[in-house]
């Protein structure tokens, strides 16, 4: 990778043109110093690179087989992000973003025989641009978060790197009753809106912490969402989101309502809840899920216990439950977290398969 054209000098507030080619390593090493000397608000354009690596050991037991795997933690996958920003004028900023994930053996997809975890080298997450007006809001175009993506995943516990409402990220490919059975990821869903997709999206400006969003992926796939985040004197925090989505393309969702709320109190205790329901084309099932989490943050340490239930996600009468615990140690100055989480998954369905146990332990390093 090469940096081209003008680049900020080591002297704050002055500019100079460096020779055309600058080696990537030199640019990366110099970047923190340059960033530290840049005064925000005076820059017209910038291109930044960020990313993280999140690797873990996953142990899973489906009642018949027990194995350990080396995985990429799908709770927050290994990825890179390139973000270019600039201004059209005083009121409108513009940005372009490319974010890809690179997962070798995803914890959410690998099965008990160690297959299925690697989808490809680069997987698209965001390939989008936006126009952000000071007074009229933000317009997005391209592959990225639909308006409702994330509405089920509001969580202030500090343990989301290993446990949050998307519980299938830990061991979603492990199947009840062994290979050929129902996978955890198939019988549980947190109904997190419409995920990421090629779409057009609009966000209102924030009104006292509230924003409303809408997006359209095509004539049969669209959604709206509302979000709130607020803090009391920099102490207690509240975040909440709710969304309504229609997706008649893939699995025939006539409507989906989902949301979540999380409160972090001054004492470090947090309470988080999420829920969702779907109305399917043709009926026959009433998919729904509930999730609850109790957390405690003390300094750099975060603990949580959580429980979830999902009904009729894959078949009528099916009932899935899960209970988990998690611990995260945050080395904030080094951009590093180490974590461990454990979870038991149960499925009430004909045949009464054994419970699935899983433990995920690893580290996320933001570079």
Partner 1 sequence: MTNTGKPMCRAAMRLLAVAVLSAGLAACSGMQPYNFVAVDEIPPGPGLISGEAGEFVLYRR
Q: How many other C-beta atoms are found inside a 10 Å radius of the C-beta of residue 157?
A: 25
| Minimum distance from residue 215 beta carbon to partner 1 (Å) | 15
- According to the binding rule CB under 8 A, does residue 270 interact with partner 1? no
Residue nearer to partner 1 on the CB measure, 43 or 66: 43
Segment lying near partner 1 (by CB under 8 A), choices 61-69, 236-244, 296-304, 339-347: 236-244
Among 117, 172, 185, 259, binds partner 1 (CB under 8 A): 259
Distance, C-alpha 203 to centroid of its chain: 19
Pick out residues in 80-109 that bind partner 1 (CB under 8 A). Answer: 81, 83
- According to the binding rule CB under 8 A, does residue 287 interact with partner 1? yes
Residue nearer to partner 1 on the CB measure, 111 or 364: 364
344: nearest Cα among 305, 318, 312, 315: 305
Residue nearer to partner 1 on the CB measure, 61 or 278: 278
Residues 194-233 vs partner 1: string with x where CB under 8 A? Answer: ------------x-xxx---------------xxxxxxxx
- According to the binding rule CB under 8 A, does residue 254 interact with partner 1? no
CB-based contact 6:15 (threshold 8 Å): yes
Greatest CA separation found in the chain? 72
CB-based contact 98:104 (threshold 8 Å): no
Pick out residues in 5-44 that bind partner 1 (CB under 8 A). Answer: 5-8, 15, 27-28, 31-32, 34-36, 38, 43-44
| Minimum distance from residue 77 beta carbon to partner 1 (Å) | 9
H-helix segments, the chain? 24-37, 168-171, 184-187
| Cα dist from 234 to 229, 231, 265, 266, whole Å | 12, 5, 11, 9
- According to the binding rule CB under 8 A, does residue 150 interact with partner 1? yes
- According to the binding rule CB under 8 A, does residue 56 interact with partner 1? no
Among 12, 47, 68, 267, binds partner 1 (CB under 8 A): 47
Residue nearer to partner 1 on the CB measure, 233 or 250: 233
CA distance 296 to 221: 38
CA distance 136 to 92: 9
Among 61, 72, 155, 197, binds partner 1 (CB under 8 A): 155
DSSP assignment string, 262-305: EEE-TTSEEEEEEEEEEEETT-S---EEEEEEEEEEETTEEEEE
């Amino acid at each position: 990778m090469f940096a081209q054209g003008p680049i900020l000098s080591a002297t704050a507030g002055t500019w100079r043109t460096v020779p055309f080619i600058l080696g990537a390593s030199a640019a990366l090493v110099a970047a923190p110093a340059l960033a530290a000397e840049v005064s925000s608000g005076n820059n017209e354009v910038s291109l930044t690179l960020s990313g993280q690596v999140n690797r873990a050991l996953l142990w899973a037991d489906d009642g018949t087989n027990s194995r350990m795997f080396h995985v990429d933690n799908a709770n927050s996958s290994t990825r890179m992000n390139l973000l270019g920003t600039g201004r059209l004028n005083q009121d409108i900023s513009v940005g372009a973003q490319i974010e890809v994930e690179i997962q070798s053996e995803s914890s959410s997809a690998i099965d008990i025989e160690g297959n299925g975890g690697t989808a490809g080298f680069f997987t698209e997450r965001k390939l989008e641009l936006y126009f952000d007006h000071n007074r009229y809001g933000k317009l997005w175009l391209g592959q990225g978060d639909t308006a409702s993506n994330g509405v089920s995943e509001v969580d202030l516990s500090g343990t989301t790197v290993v446990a949050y409402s998307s519980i299938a990220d830990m061991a979603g490919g492990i199947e009840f009753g062994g290979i050929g059975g129902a996978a955890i990821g198939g019988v549980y869903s947190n109904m997190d809106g419409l995920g990421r997709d090629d779409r057009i999206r609009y966000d209102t400006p924030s009104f006292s912490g509230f924003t409303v969003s809408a997006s359209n992926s095509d004539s049969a796939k669209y959604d709206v969402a509302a979000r709130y985040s607020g803090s009391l004197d920099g102490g207690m925090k509240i975040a909440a989101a709710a969304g309504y989505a229609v997706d008649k393309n893939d699995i025939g969702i006539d409507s989906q309502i989902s949301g979540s709320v999380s409160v972090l109190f001054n004492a470090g205790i947090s309470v988080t809840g999420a829920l969702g329901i779907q109305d399917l084309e043709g009926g026959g099932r009433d998919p729904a899920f509930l999730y609850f989490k109790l957390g405690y943050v003390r300094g750099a340490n975060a603990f949580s216990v959580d429980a979830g239930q999902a009904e009729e996600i894959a078949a009528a009468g099916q009932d899935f439950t899960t209970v988990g615990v998690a611990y995260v140690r945050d080395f904030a100055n080094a951009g590093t977290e180490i974590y461990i989480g454990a979870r038991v998954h149960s499925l009430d369905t004909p045949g009464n398969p054994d419970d699935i146990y899983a433990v995920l332990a690893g580290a996320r390093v933001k570079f």
